[in-house]
A and B are shown apart, each in its own frame.
Chain A
């Protein structure tokens, strides 16, 4: 099914169910799909598992979704930041579950989900707290940890430009988790700064091919 251009962000996030696993792009605020998260807050889905590199900054975006009490669990690499007071408070109050995953393992588990890989052995974290309870194997003299894919029900990502096929181009380090998350969820929703006619993006420069993308919404300010 080719991508649908949505009227607005509310239209783009329609139908997210309670209990969904939501992949949220961004590294800090770069590439954070703020308009889609704001729309998800209005949409009302709760009991969510959020997969993202961080656990919200300041009081907007992911932090606002957390503050609304809509997130049951966060899977991320780096929740603790100077401005992550919303998450910190909820975590210390026992109101949100946390699974900390090494950043590269998080990216690779998402990639594996999108690529149909059942599980993979990874040397990162072997012999550390984060490997406790996980199957390990020595391969070529090096200890590896068995890691499973992370599949999303929905991915919310931010890109720079989309065409009518849903082909995406990102900008600078705002690309970060977007391309892997776009492959790893059942429904992939993208906010972009600009939409162009099909054929207007040089096929050689497409980063995320439209096959992965379900819904696109143009957001004026990339807010």
Chain B
């Protein structure tokens, strides 16, 4: 695949909604998809009903609908973030072991996850800061990271302190090894390939500037 610059340099980085819309466009028709808690849930707002994408929620449901409001709210029907949701026609319920067997068994086409860091090899760190006073809590993050056929990460490319989140080696505790396929960020979209990190698209930044700021070698053009 060849690198394209969707916006001229100087135009600002993508907003979270722009990134979500971009991911939604890249999800093939009819895919089974799990959207992680946090930013990735925004992707649902950009999926057209005609796209035929089926959303999986780890707490035991396929064909999850949008958030519930008013009279629709049912305490028995929530998403993985414990937010009340709705069901779409063709929905199915199942227990937790089945839900994670579905995930671990490679039956989901795509999952979209947030991240603290992604390494050039596709290692993912998104569950624990490693801070000594942090209470560890993993939820379904490790199962999702290794289970879906393709793992997309959605994140800002740089942390608030300016340090890159796409790195040669993760410094945060890992969620999964070599599990990320693609990274969508405010400044660029990357594929993690066996040859290295390949730039698919940039938004308002040149590839050489991106490589400088990341301190990583970046491939452009077809990785094959």
Contacts and interface: CB of A to CB of B under 8 A. Distances in A.
Give chain A's interface secondary structure class.
Answer: mixed
B75 A30 contact: yes
Given A107-B97, A176-B59, A177-B95, A30 B137 contact: no
B185 interface: no
A115 B60 CA distance: 20
Nearest to B85: A173
Contacts, number: 146
25 contacts: A27-B59, A28-B82, A77-B137, A77-B139, A91-B135, A100-B136, A101-B138, A102-B143, A104-B99, A104-B100, A104-B101, A105-B142, A106-B96, A110-B97, A127-B177, A130-B138, A173-B57, A173-B77, A173-B93, A175-B95, A176-B59, A176-B60, A176-B96, A179-B97, A180-B96
Nearest to B94: A175
Interface in A59-105: 77-81, 88, 91-92, 98, 100-105
B87 interface: yes
A103 B135 contact: no
Given A27-B59, A30-B75, A124 B143 contact: yes
B174 interface: yes
A29 B146 CA distance: 28
Interface string A114-143: 000000001111111110000000000001
Interface string B168-192: 0000011111000000000000000
B16 interface: no
Contacts of B128: 129
B139 A78 contact: yes
Contacts of A174: 75-77
Contacts of A78: 137-139
A108 interface: yes
B161 interface: no
Contacts of B175: 128
A81 B128 CA distance: 14
A170 to B, nearest CB: 8
Contacts of B174: 127-129
Nearest to A207: B95
A106 B104 CA distance: 13
Given A106-B96, A107-B100, 8 more contacts: A27-B59, A28-B78, A77-B139, A88-B135, A104-B96, A107-B96, A126-B146, A173-B78
Contacts of B209: none
A218 B75 CA distance: 18
A28 B140 CA distance: 14
B156 interface: no
Interface in A153-203: 160, 170-180
A215 interface: no
Contacts of A88: 135
A186 to B, nearest CB: 19
Contact of B142 (A79, A107, A128, A172): A128
Contacts of A100: 136-138
Interface string B110-137: 0000000000000000001000010111
Contact of B78 (A30, A103, A122, A160): A30
